[in-house]
Structure formats: structure tokens, C-alpha cells
Amino acid sequence: MDKEIILKVEGISKQYRLGKVGTGTLSHDLNRWWANVRGKEDPYLKVGDTNDRTSKGSSDYVWALQDINFEVEKGEVLGIIGKNGAGKSTLLKILSRVTAPTTGNIKTKGRIASLLEVGTGFHSEMTGRENIYLNGAILGMTKKEIRSKIDEIIEFSGCQRYIDTPVKRYSSGMTVRLAFAVAAFLEPEILVVDEVLAVGDAEFQKKAIGKMQDISKGEGRTVLFVSHNMAAVKSLCTRAVLIDNGRFVFSGTPERTIDEYLKAEKSSNVLEKIWPIEKAPGDSVCKLISVTAKTDEKSIFINKDLEIEFVIENLGETPKNLNISMVVYSSSEVPVFNVVSDSYNCEKGRYSISTVIPKNLMNTDTYSIRVLLVEDSSKPLCNEYNVLNISFLEEKRDVSWYGKWIGAVRPQNLIDWDFKKV
């Protein structure tokens, strides 16, 4: 049986002019108008750089999106991932009719509810209850339909005590709670959710993800979900797409799409970080000079110990009690473990502190290292994220199963098993 297509995107592109509002000059406006009168193509569609925020381009025009084509089935949860500036939010704004595409068209069946930014569509002077009715009206709901759902919306949001208070007095977390509850309970056929869930606390995120699962599986509605939380994308989405520099570069299962994203983000190991003394993290006296994964091999294997060396320096005349804290994150940006060194009495001079990540502990994954330099075991002098990126590989496997092992780590020889006949 064929699946019902509820959203179809054909040739969507979006062009912006950098540094200006609109086209920027009267001459450009006239050129566009004259081309339109003659039935010609917009002359400025032929120019423009790729949307790469890290490099300086040669044109004042940039393509935030280029030639995006995809279809979404009814009841599907589509994850959209990519680095900052890739075009994810621009795509959702086009789908939500917040902005118009430069080229292409969109075909949808039913209402679209959007949760793009904290407070989008809310009037700050109106109460939470009044904003529920306002948003429902914007979504095309009748007053009777809204009234039948309002108790569920208020209960889900957890803002009962403040529901008759103006929204301008809400925290950002309370605002996004109420906005999500409105969008989810007023039964749109397509729910569009950007990264705003990150504003909520852990309890709300769990509720929101559970609600989105109910919407898609139980009620057969469609969800488009943008997030940098790879664990949420894996657990919630049925399919995912990867956007890079305004283009679709991969579409597939959430697991495969996330793997492609991580390959692009961390295609090579970063095994050493050295700072010049004047830019080294720390305070004016105690500095973190370098962090190094000590290996002579190009690849890091899980069945071998890996030494991590930290070099610190005390520039002052007064001895300091210093220690290192190392936090290891998985590729899904989930903290796996944290290890802390002893406190060492460091007089003026440079010192090396080393530790070893034991063999057969890590999984086949790319891990990032966060480093804190701490004084007197309580005062952080620096807190550096993504200092090292280390991809652990597998040389051989002693069993005949070759799938990916479950878990952030894989302590295969660190846990004893006892076998005996009973």
C-alpha cells in the first residue's frame, strides 16, 4: 500500500544579500523589476556564493539553500541535522511560511504548526491563556476547538499558576513549554520543531519527546525536528537528512545520517593542542600549556592503552595546588566519564601530568576531550571544550558478530565473568 505524501518540496532555494536589508540598492530593484516585466529570470539568481559561514566570499549574495527536494510521508518523523549555519532554520521558516523561497514551491496537506524560536507568535502583553487562543486562531482552530483542549494544554505546559499572567513575565523555559503545548495539542497535521527544546529542562524535554512520539505513532501526524542532540534524533526520528552549506548531502536512517554528519565534522583526529603562553587558558599566573594524546600511530585502537599528557605552568612566585579534570564526551555529545587528578603542589615552573585511558574501555566512536585546570580542588581556572578529538578503531574482533557494539563505552576485558558447572 502506497504511503500518503503530506509534504513535497520541489527545487527550493533561498538567496540573501549580506549586510543589507532587501536588495540594497535602487539599481538592483529596478533591474529585478525590468526583468520581471520582460518575463525574464531574476538576474541576481545567477550570482551568489555557497553558504559557508567560515570563509570570506567574493559576492554580496549568498545562497542559504540551494535546490532542496524531498518528500515527507504522513506519520513520519523527519530529523534535520547539520552544523550551525547549514540552512536548517531557513528551511523550516520557508516550510512554515515565515519567509518565502527565492525559487521552488511547496505542496502540503493540512495545517502546519511551527515552534521556531522562543516566544514566536506570542504577544508579550497578553496572558498565557489569551496567547493559547491567539495561537489557535492563527492555526485555523475555532474557539470551540481551542476551548476543548485548553485544560490539556495548560496541564502539559506546567504553567498553571502563571497562566493568567502576561507572557512578558515568563522565563524563556516557561515560554517554550507553553508554546510547545499549544503547537502539539491543537492538532496540526505537520508539527515543525526547531532547536527550541534545548531551552527546557530535562523533565520537559522528556515530556516533549514523548509527546512527539505519540503525535507521530499514535495519531499519525508528521513531525519535522531540528536538533543538535543526536541521541534525541536517534530515539525520535524515523528518517534523517543532513544539510551542509545549504544543500542536502545525505538522507537515510537516523543512525547512518548521524554517522555521515560526524564523519564530516570530525574527519580527522586532533591529538594535540598547544597554546602560546600569552593565549594559554588559565588565569594570569597558572596556565594550561598543552594537551597531547601520546601515540606514534596514525590510528587509535581500542585494544591499546592511550596516554594523555597535560602540561601546565605556574608563572608566579607563590606555590599553587593544581589539578586536572578530564571529561570525555561521545560523538552524540553525551558525557561518558570524568576523571580528576590528585592535587599537586606546583612552585614556579612547568609541569607534566599524565593519565592513561586503558585498553578495551572505549567503543568504536569519536570522542572529544574537555579539560579543566583547577586550583585548590574547587576553583576552575579554565574550562576548555573539544580540546582533542579522538576516533577509536577496532583492529580485530574475537567473536563472529560484526555489528556496532551498544553503548558509549565498551569495557570488554574490564569486567570478569565466572563460568562453572552447577
* Domain range summary for the chain, segments of one domain joined by +: 5-265, 272-393
pLDDT on residue 177: 85
What pLDDT score does 324 carry?
A: 96
- CA–CA distance, 334 with 332 (Å, rounded to integer): 5
Q: Which fold, 272-393?
A: Coagulation Factor XIII; Chain A, domain 1 (2.70.50)
pLDDT of residue 2: 60
For residue 180 the three cell numbers come to 510547545
For residues 306 and 357, the answer to whether their CB atoms sit within 8 Å is yes
- Which CATH superfamily, name and number, covers 5-265? P-loop containing nucleotide triphosphate hydrolases (3.40.50.300)
Return per-residue pLDDT of the chain as tens, 422 residues. Answer: 467 888 999 999 888 876 655 555 666 667 767 777 777 766 666 555 455 544 455 566 788 888 899 999 888 999 999 887 888 888 988 888 888 888 888 988 888 877 776 666 788 899 999 989 988 887 777 888 889 989 988 988 888 899 999 988 988 788 888 888 887 787 778 888 887 666 667 777 777 778 888 877 777 888 898 887 777 788 788 999 999 888 888 999 998 888 888 766 655 678 999 999 999 999 999 999 999 999 887 678 898 999 999 999 999 999 999 999 999 999 888 899 999 999 999 999 999 999 999 999 999 888 999 999 999 988 899 999 999 999 888 877 776 566 678 888 988 877 888 888 98
Give the pLDDT score at 54: 47
Say whether 272-393 and 5-265 share the same fold. Answer: no
pTM score, two decimals? Answer: 0.60
